[in-house]
Structure 1
Amino acid sequence: MKINWGTGLSIAIALFISFILYFVIKVQSNSKYDNELVVEEYYKHDARFQEEMERVQNAQDLNHKPIITNTNEGITIVFPQEFNAAQIKGTVSLYRPSNKKLDFDTPISLSNPTLLIPKSKLVGGQWGITMEWQYAGKSYLTKQPIYIE
């Protein structure tokens, strides 16, 4: 049987399309290739952007900012000494870019100006820390990446 150039071209296009579809289906069905959004409710998050920028600016305007460090015990967050530690309220969210299942929140409830997140809760690698906190009726937002070994 002789195949002319039109039939050959049609077969080649059909093989190419099936090759692409195979990989699309493979990636969509395999949990190894996780394609999650960074933020679950993206549009709601985007609508609150101006409010978030004001809280970030409040944190930038502080004379003494909270200090986030990686220690042998875990992640230590030291709030400024001029603040009354008992009046600081909020949450610290730890975000793992590579695995959503490792994300967690820790409430800020202090008796001294230091908050420790134990190393036993953390897996080695890149983490994003987001602190949303209030003091004396003013809201603050601090974001910082940190690497845990």
Structure 2
Amino acid sequence: MKMNWGTGLAIWLVLFIAFILYFVIRISTEDKYDYDLVTEEYYQKEMIFQQEFDAEENSNSLDGKITGKRTTTGWMLTFPKHIDYTKIKGTVFLYRPSNKKLDFEIPLELKSKNLLIPDQRLIAGRWNTIIKWSYEGEDYLFKEKIVY
């Protein structure tokens, strides 16, 4: 059988499509390639968007901001100096975009202006930090992306 350039091109094209399909099927079926880039309760979160927006505006209007920095023992969050930390109630949610199994939430029970997130809870990579807190009847929201 004589093979011309058209036959060779058709064979190459079929092999290339099979190659691409192999990787698409492999990535979509294996658990180690599972990436959770959205939250489970997407529509419920959309309903409270305005409340979160207002809380974030309240945070931006504060004199001081919440700051975070890496220490030898973990990630240290520091609240503004002019706020009485004993009146703060809320939660700190750490969201891992690449693996929802690593997400966790810590209640805000401050004994000082600092909150330490222990090194054992954080593995290397990107984390989204969401701090929802209330102070004297006002709701606040602080979001920060960190690379640990």
Change in 2 beyond 3 A, CA 1:62/1:17: same
Write out per-residue CA displacement over residues 40-79 of structure 1, whole angstroms, 9 at most, x where no aligned residue: 1111111211111111100000011111111111111111
What's the CA shift for 1:105? 0.7
Paired position in structure 2 for 1:74: 74
The alignment partner of 1:46 has SS state of helix
Paired position in structure 1 for 2:40: 40
Q: TM-score normalized by structure 2?
A: 0.81
The alignment partner of 1:109 has SS state of coil
What's the CA shift for 1:36? 2.6
Task: Give yes or no for contact 1:70–1:146 (8 Å, CA) kept in 2.
Answer: no
**Residues in 1 aligned to 2:12 and 2:118: alpha-carbon distance in whole angstroms:** 58
Give me the identity figure in percent.
45
**Residues in 1 aligned to 2:112 and 2:92: alpha-carbon distance in whole angstroms:** 16
The alignment partner of 2:83 has SS state of coil
Equivalent residue letter for 2:110:
L
Structure 2: runs of 5 or more not aligned: 1-10
The alignment partner of 1:132 has SS state of strand
**Residues in 2 aligned to 1:119 and 1:16: alpha-carbon distance in whole angstroms:** 46
Structure 1: runs of 5 or more not aligned: 1-10
Paired position in structure 2 for 1:7: none
**Residues in 2 aligned to 1:35 and 1:66: alpha-carbon distance in whole angstroms:** 29
Task: Give yes or no for contact 1:66–1:80 (8 Å, CA) kept in 2.
Answer: yes
* 1:111 to 2:115 alignment: no
Aligned runs of 1:1-149 on 2, under 5 Å?
22-148=22-148
**Residues in 2 aligned to 1:35 and 1:111: alpha-carbon distance in whole angstroms:** 36
Change in 2 beyond 3 A, CA 1:23/1:146: closer
Equivalenced residue count is 148
**Residues in 1 aligned to 2:120 and 2:19: alpha-carbon distance in whole angstroms:** 45
Task: Give yes or no for contact 2:35–2:99 (8 Å, CA) kept in 1.
Answer: no
What is the alpha-carbon root mean square deviation over aligned residues? 2.6
